[in-house]
Amino acid sequence: MASEVLLSIQNVISRLKTSHFVRDVAMVGGGIAAGQAIAMIFMPFLTRLYSPEDFGIAATFAAIISIITPIATMGYANAIVMPDSDEDAAAIIRLSVLLSLFVAAISFIVVYFGNVYLARWTGMESTPYMLYLIPLTLLAGAFLSVADQSAIRVGLFKAKARAYVESKLVTDTSKLIGGMWAPSGMLLILLTIAGQLTNFMMQMLRVPRIGVLNVRNWFGTVGIRNAAISQRDFAIYRMPQSMLNAASVGLPTILLASLFSASSAGQYSLAVLVLGAPAMLLGQAVGEVFYPKITRAITAKSPEAYQFLLKVTVILLVVGIVPFGTVFVFGDYLFSLVFGAEWALAGSYSQWLSIWLLTSLVSGASTAALPALRLQRFLLIREVFAVIFRAAALYIGFYVFESDMVAIALFSFVGVLLSLSIVYVAFRRLVHIHEVQQ
């Protein structure tokens, strides 16, 4: 019996070694792991150079950017992997680039005329001039998104991973050096933008500039009308869904900054940043490789799609329990030890956030499958309710209990329910498809 079990394990390991999917996940995951390792190595030094207020200012700006970034390409950048032909994919890229240029110009006008009001609404009254960085950040994010999706389309995971690692090293080294001379929230924002541009340039230097990766094909108007129509689901559903998701996730940072202090927002941002490392490592690595594969499996109506999704979901759950479980039990102690005594509050936040981020990680595979399952409408509706429920949770914590800790706990509980809803709907749709085929 023992020999049979051992043989079975050896067979599984052998299949994993020869699996293209596992190899691609390892490639992307290795790059992200290296990048996150760099961030974690630098973070204990950065938290002793920059104050929680500095981190709070940068985090508030990042929350604002994450909410409006999907507008930059109207969600079309995510559709680059969908067409069968490179010509159609290039048309989507041209559409995305044109939209980003237009949106950046509009955002500058909005900031110029509404600077005072925007600063008041976002808790950035002390640093309203930073809002003028929004157009530049939108452009940098849009071009990086186009480059990322193009590389994913043609399977250049190694070049993408190396560019990410190099940009993280350059960015965090710059933050460390800058923190020794003149630490500030403004510096953190500027260097983050520079990191995006570095990532883009490093990536483009390593890929063959042909097809969708030929930058000359990114500009013009050829085919953009057909691209806008054929992939309109991404603009109708994915863009508002992404914005609502970012809004609901960024609400605590913005509300902590405006209702409590930038320091509280900084504590929360560190907790999310640290916990986001394992979630990003596995979620993004699996998602980028899993997305095109599950899309092809569902489009081909393969009966193996259900088992494929189930296997990846279980793997994410098993692997995620260890890091998130550790933080749930020892979060406050670990944060004080690693990042300094003044960051103990971030550790307390992390204990509640770990529950939500574990379920968010587990739902990553199901989220990647939803576009192919034609469930982007569900995602949009879900995000509408997500914003309502998360805002209600924060309102109860801030105004009823007058406690930031209660607000974060309720916010996390809502996040757990929302993540599980995605898993339930994705599997239910696959079961339905399988029953119809039979």
pLDDT in tens, 127-181: 788 888 999 999 998 999 888 888 888 777 778 888 888 898 999 999 999 999 8
Residues contacting residue 2 through CB under 8 Å, at least 6 positions apart:
none
Burial environment of residue 10 by CB neighbours within 10 A (0 to 12, 13 to 18, 19 or more): exposed
Q: Which residue has the tokens 């981190």?
A: 55
Q: Predicted confidence band at 22 (pLDDT cuts at 50, 70, 90)?
A: low
DSSP letter for 371, please. Answer: T
More confident residue, 83 or 126: 83
Residues contacting residue 284 through CB under 8 Å, at least 6 positions apart:
28, 32
pTM of the model: 0.72
Q: How far is CA 37 from CA 90, 91, 199, in A?
A: 34, 37, 17
pLDDT tens for 385-408 read: 888 888 888 889 888 888 889 989
Burial environment of residue 286 by CB neighbours within 10 A (0 to 12, 13 to 18, 19 or more): buried
Neighbours of 374 (CB within 10 A): 12
For the chain, how many helices (H) and strands (E)?
A: 16, 0
Quick one: tokens of 250?
A: 């960024």
**Residue 277: what pLDDT?**
67
pLDDT over 70 (residue 224):
yes
Q: How far is CA 63 from CA 122, 168, 211, 283, 362, in A?
A: 10, 19, 34, 20, 23
Positive or negative, the CA dihedral 382, 388, 391, 392 is negative
- Dist CA 117 CA 113 (whole Å): 9
